[in-house]
Amino acid sequence: MMRKDATLVLLLALSFVGCSRSSTASKNTQAPPSLEARDSEGNSALLRAVNSGDTIEVRRLVEAGADVNSASNSGVTPLMNAAGMGNKEAVEFLIHKGADVNHRTSGNYTALMQAALVGQIEIVKVLLDAGADPSVKDAGGRTAMAWAQEQKHDDIALLLKQKTGTQSAGKN
């Protein structure tokens, strides 16, 4: 158990400082940690790499076989967090590698809702082009358009309105 914890700490430290696997300290001296090893919140190495904004590590992990649809305990996927962070490169890469653009958390929340909530119009466009469903409602009855309207992201609300053909969406 101690080795697993030490490996997890090392992986997190490397992703935060942007170190690569090619460093002499890590090269072929240890077996790599499991790609699907989880922290206490159910975050995989891939989800942690997305959260740290390390697109190089995201690519490395996916190319090594990490599951692009690996979700945390609450159902959050790497795509959802990349979308919320506005990391277009990671979003496009994850989609290209098979990320589910319509995956829902336990609260029925989607990557499109996350991007709309935080005002990431370019990410909203990428998600829509990849087939994200703007009509999905979260557990509170809100669509991505409702989240955009609530946060006064009028450009995103208009784009989503055009995609759904509705005047408003979600709770009134």
Among residues 15, 8, 127, 123, the alpha carbon closest in space to that of 61 is found at: 15
Instruction: For residue 100, give both structure tokens.
Output: 């589910």
Strands (E), 37-140: none
Say whether 100 sits in a helix, a strand or coil.
coil
- Supply φ then ψ for residue 89, to 5 degrees: -60, -45
pLDDT per residue as tens digits for the range 112-135: 999 999 999 999 999 999 999 999
Tokens of 132: 């994200």
The phi and psi torsions of 18 (rounded to 5 degrees) equal: 75, 20
Token digits for 148?
């955009």
The two three-digit tokens of residue 64, written as one number: 């090594």
- According to DSSP, residue 30 is labeled S
Inform me whether the pLDDT recorded for 16 exceeds 70.
Answer: no
- Nearest CA to 99 among 85, 80, 116, 112? 80
Between residues 38 and 116, the one the model is more confident about: 116
Of 1.10.10.10, 3.90.850.10, 3.90.209.20, 1.25.40.20, which CATH number belongs to 2-17+35-164? 1.25.40.20
124, 116 contact by CB (below 8 A): yes
Answer whether residue 141 shows pLDDT above 70: yes
Delimit the domains of the chain by residue range: 2-17+35-164
pLDDT of residue 33: 56
Mind listing the pLDDT tens digit for each residue in 40-71?
A: 788 888 999 999 999 999 999 999 999 999 99
